[in-house]
Amino acid sequence: MRRSVSGADLAFFFRSLATMFDAGVSLNRSLEMLAEQQPNPYLAGVCLDLSNKISTGRYLSNAMSTHSWLFKTMHVRLIAVGEKSGGMSVSLAQLADLEERQLQLEMKVRGSLTVPLIICAFCLLIVMLAPPLLFRPLLEMLAENKVDLPLSTKILMAFSEGLRNPLAYLVAAAVAAVFLYWAQRLWNQQPSRLRWLRGLQALPLLGAILRLIALTRFTQTLATLQLVGVPILQSLDYASQATANLSLIEDVRGVIERVREGDRVGSALQESGGFPSAFCQAVLAGEESGQLCQMLDSMARMYQLELEHGLEVLTKSLEPIMLGSVGLIVAFTVVATMMPMLKVMDSL
């Protein structure tokens, strides 16, 4: 059910609620208006339920906690802090800013990676399907003339026959289903998932992008939580959970234990070994100057710019890989088709 409400819908919900609350509209009436204007039926139902619960005297944070499929613990905690401190307007505005910034980050990542992959898949599909279907009559003629076909030509003909055989699709679907089942079971095991994630993060270019995505989300969330006034230990926990990066979550657990024992946050981050040295030094400087929120916000903006640059580099790097893959398939098809024709011409 969580997937029925997109990140854009959730960001619009918090921004609209913050705007109406700043304009003096009560939370109860604001939620009723959002329920009437909301095109998403799931989110409209949530707005109406929140409004009804508030009308009975319940706090907004308490009402939101009953919809854990939609609202994270961090959302509930931010609202609860605003209710207790009298800064509901600040909490709603910061929550709306956080959701919008993270939505913007997700859209940039998807936009940078999806388009090259779609183009690559389309080109490979065209190159793989067209030659066997176009050259099939020629290859059948060579086979009927009992020409000694080279291995590459035999492979191309077998591939062409496989595309025409429905049984091949059934076998491919069965293999794919078994692989997906095995991969899901392996992914559900936390140690295996952690090993795979750390292996991916060790890759030269893709690994750096994955680390930057997690670090940017962590820094943005941590800055927002600290600005609202959430205690540092809870802020670290909520911010790590918001990244959904198991490797970073494990590193932050160790950081929380060190901070609980009396270490500074910057020193604990440095000792964990999972964060850049510049980030740890910036956190230390923010702690010493009493400007931790501003320092975290500046680091979040810097990491977002660095991530955008990294995504651009990754996109540019995919172009020669796509061209090389298509070129190899074209070369293989041309060689597999021309070699038996040359043999026929030599025999004449």
The answer to whether residue 190 sits within a structural domain is yes
CA 341 vs. chain centroid, Å, equals 49
What single string gives the DSSP state of each residue in 316-330? HHHHHHHHHHHHHHH
CB atoms within 10 A of CB 340: 22
Identify the pLDDT of residue 138.
67
The answer to whether residue 245 sits within a structural domain is yes
139 and 207 assigned to the same domain: yes
Average pLDDT over residues 221-250: 88
Q: Using the 8-state DSSP alphabet, how is residue 134 labeled?
A: H
| Cβ–Cβ < 8 Å for 306, 104 | no
237 and 338 assigned to the same domain: yes
347 and 266 assigned to the same domain: yes
Torsion-angle region of residue 146: left (phi > 0), alpha (psi -120 to 50) or beta? left
Q: Choose one of 71, 92, 127: the last residue of a domain.
A: 71
pTM for this entry: 0.73
The answer to whether residue 82 sits within a structural domain is no
- In percent, the amount of the chain with pLDDT more than 90 equals 25
Q: Nearest Cα to 196, choosing from 159, 234, 246, 151?
A: 246
Higher pLDDT, 328 or 233: 233
Identify the pLDDT of residue 1.
41
Provide the residue range defining the domain that includes 34. 2-71
**Distance between CA 95 and CA 118 in Å, rounded?**
34
Query: Residue 66: is its pLDDT beyond 80?
Result: yes
Query: Residue 308: is its pLDDT beyond 70?
Result: yes
Query: Residue 2: is its pLDDT beyond 50?
Result: no
Identify the pLDDT of residue 210.
86
Average pLDDT over residues 111-124: 71
Average pLDDT over residues 96-121: 78
3-state SS assignment for residue 231 = coil
Query: Residue 63: is its pLDDT beyond 90?
Result: yes
**Distance between CA 188 and CA 55 in Å, rounded?**
41
158 and 114 assigned to the same domain: yes
Contacts of 101 (CB under 8 A, 6+ apart): 220, 300, 304
Identify the pLDDT of residue 347.
59
The answer to whether residue 212 sits within a structural domain is yes
Query: Residue 293: is its pLDDT beyond 70?
Result: yes
| Cβ–Cβ < 8 Å for 279, 299 | yes
Q: Choose one of 51, 71, 91: the last residue of a domain.
A: 71
- In percent, the amount of the chain with pLDDT more than 70 equals 89
**Distance between CA 167 and CA 276 in Å, rounded?**
52
Identify the pLDDT of residue 48.
93
Contacts of 271 (CB under 8 A, 6+ apart): 254, 258, 263
Domain count, the chain: 2
Q: Choose one of 71, 86, 111: the last residue of a domain.
A: 71
261 and 330 assigned to the same domain: yes
132 and 242 assigned to the same domain: yes
- Residue position matching structure tokens 């929140």: 50
15 and 62 assigned to the same domain: yes
Summarize pLDDT for 200-221 with one digit per residue, the tens: 788 877 888 888 889 998 998 8
Name, of 146-155, 169-178, 308-317, the range with top average pLDDT.
169-178
Higher pLDDT, 46 or 195: 46
Phi/psi at 238 (nearest 5 deg)? -65, -40
59 and 197 assigned to the same domain: no
192 and 239 assigned to the same domain: yes
Q: Which range has the worst mean pLDDT, 7-11, 53-57, 129-133, 218-222? A: 129-133
Identify the pLDDT of residue 142.
67
178 and 59 assigned to the same domain: no
Query: Residue 345: is its pLDDT beyond 80?
Result: no
Q: What is the mean pLDDT of the chain?
A: 83
| Cβ–Cβ < 8 Å for 247, 274 | yes
Looking at residue 281, which CATH number applies to its domain? 1.20.81.30
The answer to whether residue 90 sits within a structural domain is no
133 and 172 assigned to the same domain: yes
Average pLDDT over residues 1-21: 82
The answer to whether residue 85 sits within a structural domain is no
Higher pLDDT, 190 or 309: 309
174 and 320 assigned to the same domain: yes
Burial string for 255-279 (b: 16+ CB within 10 Å, else e) reads bbebbeeeeebbbbbbebebbeeeb
**Distance between CA 92 and CA 17 in Å, rounded?**
7
